Amino acid sequence: MAPAEPANGTTDGTTDGAADVELVGVGVRYGSAKAPVTAVEDVTLSVAPGEFVVLVGPSGCGKTTLLRLVAGFERPAAGTVRVRRRVGVVFQQPRLFPWRTVAGNLVFALARHGVPRAARAARVEELLGLVGLSGMGRRRTWELSGGQRQRVAIARALAAGPPVLLMDEPFAALDAFTRERLQEEVRTLADGTGTTVVFVTHSAEEAVLLGSRVLVMAAGPGRIAGEVAVPLPRGPGTDVAALRGAAPFAALRAEVAGAIREAAALS
């Protein structure tokens, strides 16, 4: 996506030429020149192909800002951002085409990414099944609940099959049952396809279930305050639902929850 350009001379050894996403010393400022707001400062972060990185932290610490940077919607005021492969995004608020049906939104994404016309209808049904909306393809998006709309947005992001998927609290508006099912689907799907994911959540449980690595951010200014590695099993044959009850799960969840509390106190 971004043109290949050399990282600036201040790399600290954490950078990796093969990374899908690489941020070095990144700062983002909003507001006017007279009243600038430093949203994030000096963020260095590298995400390897196939990694599932979760960002957690208190409201306002810059999680969405970092995703917007990686997606190319924001330019850094300092540092460098490199993204090596095509990115798909699921925002905090679903953004669908209101003049298209549910299926129409998905077909648009499939067509844009070269899925042959004859294969699209079956793929639409498959995607709708994945997000629990089977048979809803003919609905208008404004006839759906907020949670249903968000599920269409998730299906649309998956339709495009992006090698790098950015998800900003995608399950926050969903009921507990649907949320758990989609957590399991997204983890299995990402691991199965080797998709690189950067995922934002407020939930320590969600972070541990999904992530191979959890980055804990603090605010004032937004920065990465700590990291928790999640050495839970991944890949083919993993029973994701069963992980919630596995012994190391509770301890990891408590560790992440504690790190979030500490980061909030730092802010």
Ligand X SMILES: Nc1ncnc2c1ncn2[C@@H]1O[C@H](COP(=O)(O)OP(=O)(O)OP(=O)(O)O)[C@@H](O)[C@H]1O
Residues that bind ligand X (CB under 6 A): 30-31, 37, 39, 59-65, 222
Q: How far is the CB of 247 from Mg ion (least distance, A)?
A: 32
| CB closer to ligand X out of 44 and 105 | 44
Q: How far is the CB of 120 from ligand X (least distance, A)?
A: 34
**What is the Cα–Cα distance from 255 to 260, expressed in whole angstroms?**
9
| Residue type (1 letter), 37 | V
Q: How far is the CB of 201 from Mg ion (least distance, A)?
A: 10
| CB closer to Mg ion out of 62 and 79 | 62
Contact range with Mg ion by CB under 5 A, out of 7-15, 20-28, 60-68, 124-132: 60-68
Q: How far is the CB of 168 from ligand X (least distance, A)?
A: 7
Q: How far is the CB of 246 from ligand X (least distance, A)?
A: 28
Residue 211 binding: pick among ligand X, Mg ion, none (C-beta 5-8 Å cut-off by kind): none
* Given 64, 105, 201, 203, the residue binding Mg ion (CB under 5 A): 64
Q: Does 201 bind Mg ion (CB under 5 A)?
A: no
Instruction: Find the residue with minimal CB distance to Mg ion.
Output: 64
ω before 221 within 30° of 0 (cis)? Answer: yes
Residue 45's nearest CA partner among 196, 160, 147, 156 is 196
Residue 61 binding: pick among Mg ion, ligand X, none (C-beta 5-8 Å cut-off by kind): ligand X
Contact 183, 210 (CB under 8 A): yes
| CB closer to ligand X out of 64 and 148 | 64
Sheet holding 52-56, edge to edge: 87-90, 164-168, 196-200, 52-56, 213-218, 223-229
| Residue type (1 letter), 99 | W
Contact 71, 166 (CB under 8 A): yes
Share in percent of the chain as helix, strand, coil (round to 5): 35, 25, 40
Contact 108, 123 (CB under 8 A): no
Provide the binding-site residues for Mg ion, judged by CB under 5 A. Answer: 63-64
